[in-house]
């Protein structure tokens, strides 16, 4: 494969990563037709570690102009949490979802609740993880989102009996920047990025299967000091070390089997992100299945797949995950 320049791979993400308007109206009140969690669980006892901005408050923005459609995002996150969708008829499997949002927000509905409800209908308990954002004044911003992902996986396993799941059968799936969180967890699940706080932290954070969907393969382009609108013109933050490392450089034999999915016409994150990650997984001998679709754009989730070949991706993921032990 022809080597891909780092900025060529991820630079075009920047044009679509602009921070949402500061003037946010209240989130729409969901009706019975919108999937909603049964309950929520905070990831950390008390405050999450490393809070440096005491004025930070959780904030939701409704981006849809159609009252019949929810398109909410958490634009400020002080209290990371799991929103839980118990399976209708539990089969013991669980999936933790990390929605996208360019590390500037965490999407609620189209990359969170909708897939969670879809999984719950199929016997899989789903957890939507609202992870902290490195741009919002946390200590160790390179690892703050990964810390939440690790903690979430451990908490799910710690309370597995209560939630009727098999602690060995917990997968991770993420989109876009959340795909980076998912990939970071898959490749650095054993790395110590926070001090243990209770018994849950003695448990393994490695997912049985990981599914980075249209992922970014690095965090740093989303944290750029200047955002360029032309490919390759963005000034990057000067930083090195874990969290800024490309996902492909973090892959090892300990990385779980990975399901990769991307659309060829993605205008935000080129498919080179997925191809580069696939190449590293293959080189390390990690089982990987890759699906590239002609049409789908970026951020298709479930709602933007209707009538397109990319609509097949959730069932393809389930089939892959079953072959690798998620489903008994």
Give the per-residue pLDDT at 306. 86
**Vertex 302 angle, CA 298 and 304, to 5°:** 55
Q: Percentage of the chain with pLDDT > 70?
A: 82
Model pLDDT for residues 244-261, shown as the tens digit of each residue: 678 999 999 999 999 999
End-to-end CA distance of the chain: 36
114-120 long-range Cβ contacts below 8 angstroms, 24+ apart: 114/35, 114/301, 114/302, 114/303, 115/173, 115/301, 115/302, 115/314, 116/35, 116/37, 116/83, 116/85, 117/35, 117/85, 118/302, 118/314, 119/85, 119/87, 119/95, 120/85, 120/86, 120/87, 120/88
Question: For the chain, which residues make up each domain, given as ranges?
Answer: 6-16+35-323
Domain 6-16+35-323 has CATH 3.30.450.20: no
- The whole-angstrom distance between residue 197's C-alpha and the CA centroid of its chain comes to 23
CB 281 within 8 A of CB 258: yes
* 3 has pLDDT over 90: no
pTM: predicted TM-score of the whole model, two decimal places? 0.86
Nearest to 266 by CA among 299, 223, 219: 299
In this prediction, what percent of the chain has a pLDDT beyond 90?
Answer: 74
Q: pLDDT (tens digit, 9 = 90+) per residue, 68-110?
A: 888 999 999 999 999 999 999 999 999 999 999 999 999 999 9
Say yes or no to pLDDT of 6 above 70: no
User: Do the beta carbons of residue 63 and residue 73 sit within 8 Å?
Assistant: yes
How much is the pLDDT for 180? 96
- Contact by Cβ (8 Å): 149, 97: no
Q: What is the pLDDT of residue 4?
A: 46
Phi, psi for residue 327 in degrees, rounded to 5: -110, 130
pLDDT tops 60 at residue 29: no
How do residues 204-225 score in pLDDT, each as one tens digit? 999 999 999 999 998 866 665 3
Mean per-residue pLDDT of the chain: 86
Query: Cα dihedral sign for 120, 201, 132, 40?
Result: positive
pLDDT for residue 320: 98
């Amino acid at each position: 494969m022809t080597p891909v320049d780092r900025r060529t791979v991820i630079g075009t993400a920047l044009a679509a990563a602009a921070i949402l308007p500061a003037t946010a109206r209240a989130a729409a009140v969901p009706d019975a037709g919108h999937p909603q969690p049964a309950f929520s669980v905070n990831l950390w006892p008390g405050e999450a570690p490393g809070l440096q901005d005491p004025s930070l408050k959780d904030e939701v923005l409704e981006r849809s102009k159609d009252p019949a459609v929810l398109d909410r995002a958490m634009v400020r996150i002080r209290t990371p949490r799991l929103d839980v969708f118990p399976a209708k008829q539990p089969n013991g499997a669980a999936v933790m979802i990390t929605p996208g949002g360019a590390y500037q927000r965490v999407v609620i509905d189209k990359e969170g609740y909708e897939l969670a409800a879809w999984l719950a209908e199929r016997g899989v308990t789903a957890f939507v993880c609202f992870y902290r954002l490195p741009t919002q004044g946390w200590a160790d911003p390179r690892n703050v989102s990964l810390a939440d992902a690790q903690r979430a996986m451990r908490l799910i396993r710690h309370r597995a009996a209560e939630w009727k799941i098999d602690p060995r059968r917990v997968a991770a799936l993420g989109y876009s920047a959340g795909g980076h969180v998912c990939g970071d967890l898959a490749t650095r699940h054993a790395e110590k990025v926070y001090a243990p706080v209770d018994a849950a932290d003695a448990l393994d954070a490695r997912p049985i299967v990981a599914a980075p969907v249209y992922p970014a393969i690095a965090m740093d382009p989303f944290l750029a000091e200047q955002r360029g609108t032309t490919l390759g013109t963005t000034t990057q933050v000067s930083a090195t070390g874990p969290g800024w490392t490309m996902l492909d450089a973090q892959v090892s034999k300990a990385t779980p089997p990975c399901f990769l999915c991307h659309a060829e016409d993605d205008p935000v994150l080129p498919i080179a992100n997925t191809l580069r990650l696939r190449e590293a997984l293959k080189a390390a001998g990690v089982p990987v299945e890759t699906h590239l679709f002609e049409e789908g754009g970026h951020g298709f989730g479930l709602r933007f797949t209707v009538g397109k070949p990319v609509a097949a991706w959730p069932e393809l993921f389930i089939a892959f995950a079953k072959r690798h032990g998620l489903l008994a």
